[in-house]
Amino acid sequence: MRRQLKLLSCVVVLIVGVLELKAQDKVVGDMKAGAGKSGYDDTSYHYNAKGWRKGGIVSLSLAQGNSSNWAAGAEKSSFSVAGLATLFANKKKGDFFWNNSLDLSYAMQRTSSQGTRKTDDKIDFYSKVGKDISPTWAIAGVVNLRTQFSDGFDYDYLGKGLKRRTSGIFAPAYLLISPGIEWKPKPYFNVLFSPISARWVLVTNDPYSYYYEGGVDPDNLEPEKPLAALYGVNAARKVAFQAGAYLSASFNKEILKNVVYKSRLDLFSNYMKTHDPITDEKIAAKPKNVDVFWTNTIVMKINKWLGVTYNFDLIYDDDVKQFGPNMDSPGTQVRSLLGVGLATKL
């Protein structure tokens, strides 16, 4: 828990630091002048006559390598491809606003020694609708869906070099519905807080997925955990319902010319008792064990078609117990991807 609190403290300090640094930038003065026209999406775009602001960034990165008799050691051949799309469509009419964003990313790598493996996979849809009650406050509601495109695998299952499916589309998926109040001190920064939100964790794509037929290891006759149990969901139920407090902080701005930084930090504290994913027995609520989802994207445009993209995602979910020496403990999940290739703004 201490590590978790330290992590959250660092995140808050980072967000505050970014805001303080940018407050000293002359660019902010220009942004304030146009604040009446802008929302807190990518501020390099403007609303059209119908009140919509639409756009996004799409990128495709490729990398290829070869080696022969390389004494220091290297793959004989490698190839990787990574695609990213961050899209938005926002509506504003008077005090009413409706902001929608869709973040998609997928990356594959093929090497001569390991074959083809997935290195990135994300579907993240975030929709917020609300009404301003003052220049810096609003009443709003959020719908958020997170999942992935394709199957993921443990390539060293049970330490035996076995390949076991550990995820897939809607395995898991996280659906959240949250009404709350929003503070938006800057056009590009906002924080939404909800004292009570509903969240569903779904594992509907083959929740009983095992490596061994029948889910029993023939070497030691130990039962395997079904895929759903890896995410704290009972395979027979397929869905785990949670209710608790939710906080979402978003930052989206062209921080320098042709450099866009987009970040969202989501915190969720479950008030409800949970069910053991194997025995289905009730487990006492642990509201202090806050779930963390933090996603970051930086896109740097070099010219009209060439750009650099960097993704960094961090997740902590107390119900995802796949880590530690016995592979039965929660842990901080970190993923990053740097790419150079084709990139264009829509």
Domain around 320: 2-345
State pTM to two decimals.
0.84
| Distance in angstroms (rounded) separating the CA atoms of residues 273 and 206 | 25
Q: Which two tokens stand for residue 122?
A: 């994300």
pLDDT at 14: 43
* Structural contact between residues 22 and 16, judged by C-beta atoms closer than 8 angstroms: no
DSSP secondary structure, 113-131, as one string: TTEEEEEEEEEEEEEEEEE
CA distances from 183 to 9, 95, 140 (A): 20, 14, 10
pLDDT at 34: 36
* Structural contact between residues 211 and 227, judged by C-beta atoms closer than 8 angstroms: no
pLDDT at 152: 95
pLDDT at 308: 92
pLDDT at 44: 59
Question: Which residue ranges of the chain lie beneath pLDDT 70?
Answer: 1-44, 72-73
Q: What's the number of domains the chain is made of? A: 1
| Distance in angstroms (rounded) separating the CA atoms of residues 20 and 229 | 43
